[in-house]
């Protein structure tokens, strides 16, 4: 990763860190890199519902056009819709203006390659290098200046793709949809209704500032409560850009990405579709997932956190299923990136085909108690430079006993260091987590504000 790009593009507080000037510079540099100096690239641009989206879209598009790129605006759409449309159109790249699950004051910009995959690190580093001397980026003149158009038809193709992936009717199913007041607010209820489900929408009224506010995949309480009140079959909570989903069973119990991967992997193996008999997860996935996969004769590979790294490892292993505990799930038969709505449809279709409630399907794995502490720090990368980091993790594992697991790492998208512990004794985990938090703050420094 460079100085600007994290694991999921460029992020920061809108108009303070991620300014219109930086967005314009990103557009100019991206156009230069994507065009490779020999043609005018065509770029699709989508965004979520944040108040700053209009401002940053205008700046990004200005930069792209200034360097000669043609731009097609998709409007407010899920991030995976941009990835799909980019892959299935004659374009050079896609760009998304979103900060995913972050609060409304944050925003971000990330790019997809012509294959609908997140740009590789080397291209992002090249873009960063050009930004350092952005005034030297070649500008288009006269009739070579880029233009802008809007296209709603591309998103309709994505919707048709989602419906086709379900390949069954959801008639008779009552589904609570928490749109996080984000990119899924309209498209998720529409797709589910078209498939025959009875939809109970909540948090589907964006106003620019309520995205992810007490709702969505990080705040599933209201969704789970509504499932119980409405006696629904299932609940879905998306994040701000709808590339992840957390579910609820009929009793209001949370079903996270690990459980979604577990039931999906077992189903795909039984159907003879789990290519190479492998599931790709991350270092944050629960030990219970690993044990469940062993019980079903499925190999589980772990990679670093970030769906871009899950996708890369999946390609290396020719795997069809991978994801993260947070709800980023990649079904490679249908998509190149995490897609919350597509993931939800695969699970709903599995429920319909088997006639089993989600509580029964999710019971395929037993979770170990897990604690995750997000420690806000001044310099999150100081932990990676800390020579005793591995020794600290080893000490923590000794304190927890067997079986246990500890991981301490800087977030790729926020100014925090994440501490993750798994063991059988929750009380002891709480004690060790407190001690680790103290060590992290000593190494990385207290936050300035």
pLDDT of residue 202: 99
- Side-chain half-sphere exposure of 37, counting CA atoms within 13 A: 2
Outline which parts of the chain fall under CATH 3.30.310.50. Answer: 370-444
Q: 18: buried, middle or exposed (CB in 10 Å: 19+, 13-18, 0-12)?
A: buried
Which CATH code is given to the segment(s) 255-362?
3.40.120.10
Q: 184: buried, middle or exposed (CB in 10 Å: 19+, 13-18, 0-12)?
A: buried
Q: Please, are residues 181 and 215 in contact by the beta-carbon 8 Å criterion?
A: yes
Strand, helix or coil at 262?
A: helix
DSSP 4: S
Q: Please, are residues 110 and 27 in contact by the beta-carbon 8 Å criterion?
A: no
Listed residue (51, 62, 64, 63) closest to 13, CA to CA:
51
Listed residue (91, 116, 96, 117) closest to 107, CA to CA:
96
Fold adopted by 370-444: TATA-Binding Protein (3.30.310)
CA distance 409 to 381: 9
Distance of CA 39 to CAs 61, 72, 92, 120, Å? 17, 17, 10, 20
Q: What is the pLDDT along the chain (449 residues), one digit of tens a residue?
A: 567 888 788 999 999 999 999 999 999 999 999 987 678 999 999 999 999 999 999 999 999 999 999 999 999 999 999 999 999 998 999 999 999 999 999 999 999 999 999 888 889 999 999 999 898 888 999 999 999 999 989 999 999 999 999 999 999 999 999 999 999 999 999 999 999 999 999 999 999 999 999 999 999 999 999 999 999 999 999 999 999 999 999 999 999 999 999 999 999 999 999 999 999 999 999 999 999 999 999 999 999 988 889 999 999 999 999 999 999 999 999 999 999 999 999 999 999 999 999 999 999 999 999 899 999 999 999 999 999 999 999 999 999 988 889 999 998 778 899 999 999 889 999 999 999 999 999 999 988 76
Distance of CA 363 to CAs 253, 309, 360, 400, Å? 11, 28, 5, 26
Q: Please, are residues 293 and 279 in contact by the beta-carbon 8 Å criterion?
A: yes
Q: 440: buried, middle or exposed (CB in 10 Å: 19+, 13-18, 0-12)?
A: buried
> First-to-last CA distance in the chain?
25
CB atoms < 10 A from the CB of 345, how many? Answer: 27
> What is the phi-psi region of residue 297: left when phi exceeds 0, alpha when psi lies from -120 to 50, beta otherwise?
left
Distance of CA 218 to the CA centre of its chain: 12
Listed residue (120, 134, 192, 101) closest to 416, CA to CA:
101
Mark whether 100 is an active-site residue: yes
The domain 157-253 having CATH identifier 3.30.70.270: the answer here is: no
CA distance 298 to 196: 34
CA distance 50 to 47: 8
Catalytic residue of the set 98, 100, 326, 411? 100
pTM of the model: 0.90
Instruction: State the CATH architecture for 5-151.
Output: 3-Layer(aba) Sandwich (3.40)
DSSP 110: E
CA distance 381 to 370: 24
Q: What share of the chain is helix, strand, coil (3-state, %, to 5)?
A: 40, 20, 40
Outline which parts of the chain fall under CATH 3.40.120.10. Answer: 5-151, 157-253, 255-362
């Amino acid at each position: 990763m460079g100085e600007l790009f994290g694991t999921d593009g460029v992020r920061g507080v809108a108009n303070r860190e991620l300014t219109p000037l930086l967005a314009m510079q990103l557009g100019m540099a991206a156009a230069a890199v994507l065009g490779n100096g020999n043609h005018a690239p065509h770029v699709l641009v989508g965004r979520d519902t944040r108040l700053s989206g209009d401002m940053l879209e205008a700046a990004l598009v200005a930069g792209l056009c200034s360097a000669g790129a043609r731009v097609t605006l998709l409007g407010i759409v899920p991030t995976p819709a941009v990835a799909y449309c980019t892959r299935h159109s004659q374009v050079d790249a896609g760009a998304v203006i979103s900060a995913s699950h972050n609060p409304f004051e944050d925003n971000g910009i990330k790019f997809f390659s012509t294959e609908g995959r997140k740009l590789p690190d080397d291209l992002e580093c090249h873009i960063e290098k050009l930004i350092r001397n952005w005034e030297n980026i070649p500008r288009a003149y006269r009739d070579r200046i880029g233009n802008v158009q809007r296209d709603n038809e591309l998103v309709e193709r994505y919707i048709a793709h989602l419906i086709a992936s379900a390949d069954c009717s959801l008639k008779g199913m009552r589904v609570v949809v928490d749109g996080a007041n984000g990119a899924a607010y309209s498209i998720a209820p529409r797709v589910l209704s078209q498939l025959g489900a009875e939809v109970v929408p909540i948090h589907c009224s964006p106003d620019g500032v309520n995205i992810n506010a007490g709702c969505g995949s990080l705040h599933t309480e209201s969704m789970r409560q509504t499932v119980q009140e409405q006696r629904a079959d299932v609940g879905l909570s998306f994040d701000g850009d709808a590339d992840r989903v957390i579910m609820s069973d009929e009793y209001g119990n949370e079903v996270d990405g690990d459980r979604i991967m577990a039931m999906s992997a077992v189903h795909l193996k039984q159907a003879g579709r789990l290519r190479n008999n492998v599931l790709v997860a991350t270092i944050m996935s629960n030990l219970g997932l690993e044990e469940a996969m062993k019980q079903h004769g499925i190999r589980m590979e772990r990679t670093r956190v970030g769906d871009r790294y899950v996708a890369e490892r999946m390609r290396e292993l020719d795997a069809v299923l991978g994801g993260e505990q947070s709800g980023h799930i990649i079904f490679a038969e249908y998509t190149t990136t995490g897609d919350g709505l597509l993931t939800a449809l695969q699970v709903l279709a599995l429920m319909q085909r088997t006639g089993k409630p989600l509580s029964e399907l999710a019971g395929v794995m037993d979770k170990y108690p897990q604690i995750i502490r997000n420690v806000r720090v001044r310099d999150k990368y100081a932990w990676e430079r800390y020579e005793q980091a591995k020794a600290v993790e080893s000490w923590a594992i000794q304190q927890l006993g067997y079986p246990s697991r500890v991981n301490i790492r800087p977030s790729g998208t926020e100014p925090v260091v994440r501490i993750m512990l798994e063991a059988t004794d929750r009380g002891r985990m709480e004690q060790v987590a407190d001690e680790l938090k103290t060590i992290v703050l000593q190494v990385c420094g207290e936050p300035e504000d």
